[in-house]
Amino acid sequence: MSSSGSTYGDIHRYEPARESTAAAVGIVLLTLIEIVFVGLFTYGLLAGWGFTPDGNMYLGTILAIIFVDLAFILMLYRKEFLPDVMIVKKRRRKWEDLYVREEDVDGVQMAEKDPWESIKRAVYPYYKK
Q: Quick count: other Cβ atoms within 10 Å of Cβ 17? A: 14
Give the pLDDT confidence of 32-47 residue by residue, as tens digits: 999 999 999 999 999 9
Contacts for 27 with CB less than 8 Å, ≥ 6 apart = 73, 76, 77
What ranges do the domains of the chain cover? 11-90
Give the pLDDT confidence of 49-91 residue by residue, as tens digits: 999 999 999 999 999 999 999 999 999 999 888 887 777 766 6
Beta carbons of 49 and 56 less than 8 angstroms apart: yes
CA-wise closest residue to 80 among 21, 34, 40: 21
Buried b / exposed e over 63-78, threshold 16 CB at 10 Å, is eebbeebeeebeebbe
Beta carbons of 9 and 87 less than 8 angstroms apart: yes
pLDDT the model gives residue 1:
44
Q: Which amino acid is at 108?
A: V
